[in-house]
Each structure stands twice: as C-alpha cells, then as structure tokens.
C-alpha cells in the first residue's frame, strides 16, 4: 500500500502570517472540489489484495464493486475529507457510516480517521474543538452537525509507554487513556469489530478492508478484532456494543466473541454510570429494544445495568413487571419504526413501576406508614439504587416521579379533580402507563379506570360533566387549619 508521507508528500505547514489567507483560499477550493466530486464517478478496474509493510493483508474494493456513493455522504463530511487531503494528510470515512452505507442504510453520523494529529487538525479548521482525555478527538462543528475526526490509533504497549498522558491501563486491563498514534494498518486492528473497520478512501472512492470485515458484513457476523477477553477488559462497553450491533443489524455474534461475555459482564461495574446511561438509551431506543433486552438477559448484561429489576425476575418471566417491560419495549420499537417520538422518562418509569410499588407496600407494612408517604420514600430508594448503575439525569427522574405520583391520583376523579388532572403536563404519559398496567394486570377495576379516562378525554364538556355526576360524590375530608390569631391578640412588634 502506498504510504503518503513515506513517498515524500509531507503535511503542509503554514506560518501564522499566512494562516488566515490560506484558510480563506482553501475554503473556496474545498467548496469547488466538493461540487466537482459530486458529479464525478470514477471507476476502478478490479478488487486488489495487497500485503502492507506490516504484514497485514488489505483488500481494496473499487468503486465499481461497492454501492457507496458520495451523494449519500454528508457534504460536511466530504469537506473535512477534502481539506485534510489538501493539507497533505490521509483521510478516510470509517466505522458505522461505511458499514451502514454498504448495507444500504442511512447513517446517523459520519466519522473520519486521519494521520493528522488533533493539534494539526485544529490548525486546519477554525470550527474545530478538541474533546476527550481517554481518547483525544477533534469535533468539526457545522451548526447542528458534528463531524468526529480521530487520529489513527497505534498499538498499545504499557511496558514501553512511559508518558501516562498518552497511554494508561488499569490493573484489570481496562484502558484508561489511549492516545498512542499509528498507521492506518494499526488503526484497523485497534477498532472493535470487523464490520466497523472498513475505510472509504475519498481519493479513489474505494473501500479498504484489513480484517475481512466485508465478508463478515455479508455473512451477518459480529466478530471482535483480536483476543476477545483482552479487548473486553480494555473496554467492557464492547460487550454492550456487540449485543447492540447484533440486534440492530440482525446479525449473530461469532462464538469466540460471545464466549467470554457472561463471565466478564461484572466488569461493567467499573464503567462510569453516566456513560452506561448513554449506552442504555442506545440499546433500548434504537428500534430493536425488545430483542436487545432479551439478548442482554441471555448474556447476563441486563443485571449489570438494571439490578433493581433483575432481582425481581421470575422463573417463567410472567410477573407483571416482566410483562410491562416486554410491552413498553415493543411499543417503543413500534413508535420508532413509524418515526414517532419516544420519551426515555416514560420507558424507565414503566420498567421501574413495580419495583416502586413493591417497595412502597413493604415500607407501609413494616414501618406503619401511610401508603402515600411510603410511596414517596419508595420512589427515592428505587431511583437511588438504579442511579448507582446508570446515572439517570435529574430532568428524567423528575418526569418519572410525576408519572408515578399521577398513578395515585388518577382514581380520584370527583368534582374538578379530573379536569385538573388533564391539565397536568405529564397527564398523557401517566395515562399511557395506566393503560399498560391495565393490559398487564387484567384487574377489572384497573381496566374500568383506564376505559373511563379514555372516554373522558374524548368527551365534550357536557359529556364530561355527566361522567363526573355518574361517579357520585364521595365525602371530602376537610382539613382543619389552625386559625390565625386576631390582630388584637398579636404581640406588639418590639422593633
């Protein structure tokens, strides 16, 4: 494989006095290049298999033998690729974007890898922001769109790495920092799965494959690159990613890749809970939530994310809690399939509803508390327990509390209570949870309550008044407040 820098085409550098002029001129050239490249359709002759200088085999798939078109790539991603090339650097589209394009899917984002260092990238792009300590990355900002650019990663060898700012590894094998840069061949080996290690070359529009990723993509296989146990120990989140990609892409996890997962699942406890929250959203809100949930359970990963739920699983998976989880995940998948919005607060509120009520009953019986007070304590306890595993943000837990508390208010409909409840910002989400509970529990009074609220929402004002009248009046307990002292009885102000 041709090495750009080895061939003498070293990165172009510019003095501070010419930087502004260069960027302005380069921006115009980039715009023209992108416009011209959209019309171009260069054809290569045939697929080539080569051996690199590092004894790694590379398969080059020419434009004529793959389906990736620049028309399907973000204009901003193309701008970044071309500007890096103009600056004298190698640059490739890589990862999930290439994978999804080859599968005929529309990528959510486009990632780029290059031999330019983060600092060199920042010099080329005024709209660049460097992020991350564990993995140093460049984010190129184009309004709401962010193009992530990473420098080729090199082999990690703790024994020869002295600078802890570049590389650091914990005793359990987890990579705490990995900023060792290398070649594209090394970068390919450092990626997680073969299907994510495919490189689209903007120079000749070919796809480069160093790890037989294209074959695994065609065969529907999720295969980890390297020794599975070592790679999972480096980053335990890879176990979650294996499950997510298998379900998302409707593929199977290769046996050697799957084998260590159950044993190593507890390593997820070492991952920051905030990161696990983000991963849980990707797992459960990607359109294959129910299939993902079942596979997470199969590999003992779900219990690491949701221990509060897992300890309540039954042998036959037929408890109300398990039924409502199945139903809410299927409903979420359906909404995503039909491009309808989903709310993580509602999803988590449904999943944790029965742990909350079970704990509230226990507190009420053992502590002699009124149920409403026990329920408030139970919400706190369950959320505290859950957030130790995945750090659910306060903006979401606040909504979850509203949805839960409304479940206690929905049966109380007399007078103006029903109309006031409908004015609550979270009423619709609370009603949806009520319907789920009615479908799961099959209790007559709960089903009748859900039906009543459904009819009430559809009724006009006159019909709503009639529905309230039919409920009858229930005695309302008056709250006796202490009288305020009269003006004459007040003590004089001594000021």
**Residues near 387 by beta carbon (within 8 Å), at least 6 away in sequence:** 273, 397
Instruction: Please identify which of the residues 3, 75, 109, 212 carries the catalytic annotation.
Output: 109
If phi over 0 gives left and psi between -120 and 50 gives alpha, with beta otherwise, what is residue 361?
Answer: alpha
271 with 237: CB under 8 angstroms?
yes
- The two tokens of residue 212 are 């037989």
Locate all alpha helices (DSSP H) within 103-201, ordered by sequence: 118-124, 184-190
C-alpha distances in Å from residue 310, one per residue of 45, 88, 169, 282, 381: 55, 53, 31, 20, 16
Helices (H), 299-416: 302-305, 307-310, 320-337, 344-367, 371-387, 394-409
Of the candidates 258, 206, 198, 202, the residue with the CA atom closest to the CA atom of residue 46: 206
Spatial separation of the C-alpha atoms in residues 81 and 37, rounded to whole Å: 12
Angle between helices 344-367 and 371-387 (to 10 degrees): 130
**Residue 111 appears among annotated catalytic residues:** yes
Put residue 300 in one of left, alpha, beta given phi > 0 → left and psi -120 to 50 → alpha: left
Residue with tokens 């480096």: 234
- The residues near 464 (Cβ < 8 Å, ≥ 6 apart) are 418, 419, 456
Do 148 and 109 contact (CB within 8 A), yes or no? yes
Catalytic residue (one of 100, 111, 333, 432): 111
Tokens of 190: 């450092």
All residues at 6 or more sequence positions from 274 whose CB lies less than 8 Å from its CB, including other chains: 391
Q: What is the dihedral of CA 342, 344, 243, 307, to 10 degrees?
A: -150
CA distances from 84 to 30, 92, 281, 480 (A): 10, 10, 33, 75
Catalytic residue among 178, 192, 209, 333: 192
Catalytic residue status for 3? no
324 within 8 A of 358, measured Cβ to Cβ? no
Instruction: Tell the burial category of 164 from Cβ atoms under 10 Å away from its Cβ (0-12, 13-18, 19+).
Output: exposed
* Catalytic-residue membership of 100: no
Residues assigned a catalytic role: 109, 111, 192
């Amino acid at each position: 494989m041709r090495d750009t820098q080895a061939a003498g085409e070293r990165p172009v550098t510019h003095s501070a006095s010419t930087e502004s002029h260069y960027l302005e001129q380069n921006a115009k050239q980039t715009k023209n290049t992108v416009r011209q490249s959209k019309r171009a359709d260069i054809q290569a002759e045939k697929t080539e298999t080569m051996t690199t200088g590092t004894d790694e085999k590379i398969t080059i798939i020419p434009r004529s033998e793959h389906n990736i078109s620049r028309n399907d790539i973000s204009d901003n991603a193309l701008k970044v690729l071309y500007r890096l090339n103009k600056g004298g650097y190698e640059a490739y589209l890589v990862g999930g974007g290439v994978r999804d394009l080859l599968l005929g899917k529309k990528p959510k984002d486009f990632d780029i890898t290059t031999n330019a260092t983060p600092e060199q990238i920042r010099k080329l792009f005024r709209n660049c922001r460097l992020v991350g300590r564990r993995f140093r990355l460049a984010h190129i900002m184009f309004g709401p769109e962010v193009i992530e650019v990473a420098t080729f990663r090199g082999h990690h060898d703790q024994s020869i790495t002295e600078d802890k700012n570049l590389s650091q590894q914990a005793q359990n094998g987890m990579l705490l920092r990995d900023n060792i840069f290398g070649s594209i061949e090394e970068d390919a080996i450092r990626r997680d799965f073969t299907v994510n290690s495919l490189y689209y070359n903007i120079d000749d529009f070919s796809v480069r494959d160093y790890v037989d990723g294209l074959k695994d993509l065609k065969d529907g296989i999720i295969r980890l690159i390297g020794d599975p146990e070592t790679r999972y120990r480096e980053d335990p989140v890879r176990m979650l990613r294996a499950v997510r990609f298998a379900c998302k892409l409707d593929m199977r996890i290769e046996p050697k890749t799957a084998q260590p997962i159950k044993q190593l699942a507890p390593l997820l406890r070492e991952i920051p809970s905030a990161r696990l929250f983000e991963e849980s959203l990707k797992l459960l809100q990607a359109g294959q939530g129910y299939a993902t949930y079942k596979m997470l359970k199969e590999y003992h990963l779900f219990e690491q994310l949701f221990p509060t739920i897992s300890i309540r699983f039954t042998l036959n998976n037929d408890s109300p809690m398990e039924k409502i989880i199945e139903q809410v995940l299927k409903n979420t998948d359906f909404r995503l399939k039909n491009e309808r919005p989903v709310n993580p607060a509602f999803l988590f509120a449904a999943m944790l509803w029965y742990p909350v009520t079970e704990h509230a009953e226990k507190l009420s019986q053992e502590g002699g508390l009124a149920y409403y007070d026990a329920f408030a304590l139970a919400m706190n306890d369950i959320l505290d327990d859950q957030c130790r595993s995945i750090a659910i943000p306060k903006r979401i837990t606040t909504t979850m509390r509203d949805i839960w508390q409304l479940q206690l208010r929905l049966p109380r409909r007399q007078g103006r209570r029903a109309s006031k409840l409908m004015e609550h910002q979270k009423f619709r989400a609370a009603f949806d949870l009520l319907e789920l509970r009615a479908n799961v529990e099959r209790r007559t009074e709960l089903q009748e309550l859900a039906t009543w609220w459904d009819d009430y929402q559809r009724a006009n004002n006159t019909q709503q008044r009639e529905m309230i009248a039919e409920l009858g009046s229930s005695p309302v307990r008056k709250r006796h407040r202490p009288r305020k002292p009269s003006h004459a009885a007040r003590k004089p102000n001594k000021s």
